[in-house]
Amino acid sequence: MDALAPSSGPVPSPGTSKQAGRSGNIRDWLVTLLIAMIVLLLLNLFVFNLSTVRGHSMQPTLMESQHLLVNKLVYNFHDPGRGDIVILKDPDSKPTSPRFLVKRVIGTPGDVIRVEHNLLYVNGELLNEPYTSSRVEDGDYGPFTVEPGHFFVMGDNRHTAASKDSRYFGSIKAQDLLGRAEFIFWPISEWKWL
């Protein structure tokens, strides 16, 4: 017949072992939550950012209050291309309280930008812009040659005074481009890749 050896320590009451199990589960849950928050923070700092559209300068492509997923790594591997929707530091904002703009890349280094008779030309060619529903209403501009390491950006809304862009503040340094808008993630009914 099998016999049980006597216990050398105190026998835990059933309530004590349940409490120890619960506190272990809570601790595991908190550690998991903390790790997830650290991973999300690191991803937000180095890989992606979330941005909210303010204003109407990118209509009809982007609407006020839409939320965007911004790829912060993409320009570490290649330069912005014509047509990219980018997030940039507002050149008129203070370093202590930076503001950001969302615009479309129209010109890359060396490109010659010109607006004539409400039409946009890049390097002497009329730019095909299926993403905008209006001609440039702010009058003639240029010619303007984009400097090395700079980009010329405009809003998709070309109505009079609708967009504060490179026509007003000049070209943007590459290091002032924070990333490329990749996806509209809010509201859910408007999900789409850009």
Domain boundaries, the chain: 16-46, 49-193
pLDDT, residue 103, reads 95
pLDDT, residue 13, reads 55
pLDDT, residue 174, reads 92
Q: How long, in residues, is the chain? A: 194
Which residues participate in catalysis according to the annotation? Answer: 57, 103
- Per cent of the chain over pLDDT 90 is 40
List all residues 6 or more positions away from 54 whose beta carbon is below 8 Å from its beta carbon.
64
Using CA atoms, how far apart are residues 57 and 171, in angstroms rounded to an integer? 17
Tokens for 182, please give them. 């990749």
pLDDT, residue 145, reads 97
By C-alpha distance, which of 134, 82, 78 is closest to 112?
Answer: 82
Domain boundaries 49-193, corresponding CATH code: 2.10.109.10
By C-alpha distance, which of 85, 80, 98 is closest to 132?
Answer: 85
Using CA atoms, how far apart are residues 169 and 165, in angstroms rounded to an integer? 6
pLDDT, residue 48, reads 76
Distance set, CA 145 to CA 74, 108, 140 (Å): 25, 9, 15
pLDDT, residue 18, reads 57
Looking at beta carbons, which pairs linking 81-84 to residues 24 or more positions away fall under 8 Å? 81/105, 81/108, 82/106, 82/107, 82/108, 82/111, 82/122, 83/131, 84/180
Angle at 150 between CA 146 and CA 126, to 5 degrees: 40
pLDDT by 10-residue block (mean), the chain, 194 residues: 54 56 77 84 73 87 89 90 93 84 96 95 94 87 94 93 91 92 86 81
